[in-house]
Amino acid sequence: MYIVGVFYSLLVLVSANYESYKVYSVIPANRTHIELLGLLLSTDKLDFWSRLSYDSRSVDIMVPPQEQRDFIMYLKKHDIQYEVLIDNLETVIQREHVKQQLIPRTFRGKISFSKYNTFNDINAYLYQLQMDYHNLVKLQNIGTTYEKRGMVVIQISSNPSANNPIIFIDGGIHAREWIAPAQVLYIINQLVENPANRDLLDDVDWHILPVANPDGYEYSQTINHRMWRKTRSQQAKNCMGTDANRNFEFYWGLSGASSNPCADTYKGPKPFSEVETQNLRDYLLKIKKNAKLYLTFHSYGNLILYPWGYTSELPHDEFELRTLAKEVNDAIVKAGGPSYTIGSSTNVLYAAAGGSDDWAKGVAGIELSYTIELPGGKKNGFDIPANEILKVVNQTFAGMIVYGKYISVKYKDTWRFPEK
């Protein structure tokens, strides 16, 4: 194991992809600064690790060596403050990779929360749950990816014939956001394997897609492509992938999405160009009558966001969306977690159209729709270090209990009678 690790490290030193890449933490002082940084979003040279926001919080931007001089000049010219968050990204990625290798392999069918699991390990766990808990768990293959991987939804229900309201959750639509599938897996683990949470299944069914972009997720696990975000479909001659979270057909391309196939926020050649977003769309449309809450996990930034992402106008039920988000945040904070910033996407962040949350609400009619941006790794790289996963996912789960209870209470009295 150790020998293999060393040999591998030697190999990748030759082809180091992120050598001398830097990550800058940029601190806009006012609206003008934010607009000036917004202009940089459309370039395919820079990579925004966190989302540009209006509350003057810092934004982390990865810059390749050949762009660093111009980038710094731009910041200085406009008097925008910054600091170097990561001096040489390659070092950070190598370190993360070696740590991943040193953690022993889990047995097939078991899941770990002290490392980031591979796509195969995740699926093996889902199949094991189906075998061990066949009264609670049913797996549904909702289609295959561009590279022909299966996309598996786990349906958790203690009474499938009760026509219960459904909470739908996905994670990992952006490949490199590894904490998102980890979070979603913990939710699955707690709902299925922890009897103390059984009451969360009494009046609600949970349908969960742990890895919404399997091709990208696997690709980001290869050390030279750690920062991969998009799908893996062939777009231009030298550029692969579409930003799946800009690919949904609801004011598609209106704002915050790139038309450049090489950019990290490429919206795709047309709405739902990606088979992965098609599969997710078709499944949500199938369950939309009962689906009452849509949650999509991302990283990073400690944000609980609700629609709209394409406009700063607020949805008609903004009060409910905000109040529920506040209760979720209170529960997370009470469990020892960080405090999340709450708001409609476009009031907190720079606008971005084509997201799954907007589509879930605007088209599928799932009124309660949230994007949760989990904590990031900062100096340790994009994701939090593996030894912090359990702490974070445990804290966030406290918020999931609030969501579950809310849906249960909201629909309890009326739900027993099928609509005519």
Task: Tell me the catalytic residues.
Answer: 373
Q: What's the min distance (Å) between Cβ of 313 and ligand NAG?
A: 25
Closest approach, Cβ 32 to Zn ion, in A, equals 26
Q: Is there a contact between 93 and 226 (Cβ–Cβ < 8 Å)?
A: yes
Q: Is 73 in the site for ligand NAG (CB under 6 A)?
A: no
Question: What residues between 182 and 221 interact with ligand NAG by CB under 6 A?
Answer: 190
Q: Could you say which of 363, 398, 405, 411 contacts ligand NAG (CB under 6 A)?
A: 398
Q: Per the structure block, which two tokens stand in for 373?
A: 């941006």
Burial of 321 (0-12, 13-18, 19+ CB in 10 A): buried
In the region spanning residues 375 to 394, those forming contacts with ligand NAG, defined by CB under 6 A, are: 394
Is residue 174 a contact point for Zn ion (CB under 5 A)? Answer: yes
Tell me which of 79, 87, 132, 313 binds ligand NAG, using CB under 6 A.
Answer: 79
Q: How far is CA 385 from CA 74, 284, 417, in A?
A: 32, 33, 47
Length of the chain: 420
- 298 is a site residue for Zn ion (CB under 5 A): yes
Look at residue 174 and give the partner it binds from Zn ion, ligand NAG, none, a contact being a CB closer than 5 to 8 Å depending on partner kind. Zn ion
Query: Could you tell which of Zn ion, ligand NAG, none binds residue 397, using a CB distance below 5 to 8 A set by kind?
Result: ligand NAG
Instruction: Tell the smallest beta-carbon distance from residue 85 to ligand NAG (Å).
Output: 20
Which one of ligand NAG, Zn ion, none interacts with residue 298, CB within 5 to 8 A by kind?
A: Zn ion
**In contact, 45 and 67? CB cutoff 8 Å:** yes
H helices of 221-353, where? 275-287, 318-334, 345-348
Using the rule CB under 5 A, give the single segment among 5-13, 196-204, 291-299, 308-316 that binds Zn ion: 291-299
| Residue 212 DSSP one-character state | S
Q: Shortest distance, CB of residue 95 to ligand NAG, whole angstroms?
A: 27
- In angstroms, the CA 339 to CA 53 distance is 16
Structure tokens that stand for 231 in this block = 């799908």
Residues in 15-44 that interact with ligand NAG by CB under 6 A? 29-30, 32-33
Pairwise CA distance, residues 393 & 2, whole Å: 29
Which helix (H) or strand (E) element contains residue 97? Answer: helix 89-102
Residues β-bridged to residue 20: none
Q: Tell the smallest beta-carbon distance from residue 392 to Zn ion (Å).
A: 16
Backbone angles phi, psi at 327, to 5 degrees: -65, -40
Note the residues at the interface with Zn ion (CB under 5 A).
174, 298
Note the residues at the interface with ligand NAG (CB under 6 A).
29-30, 32-33, 79, 190, 394, 397-398
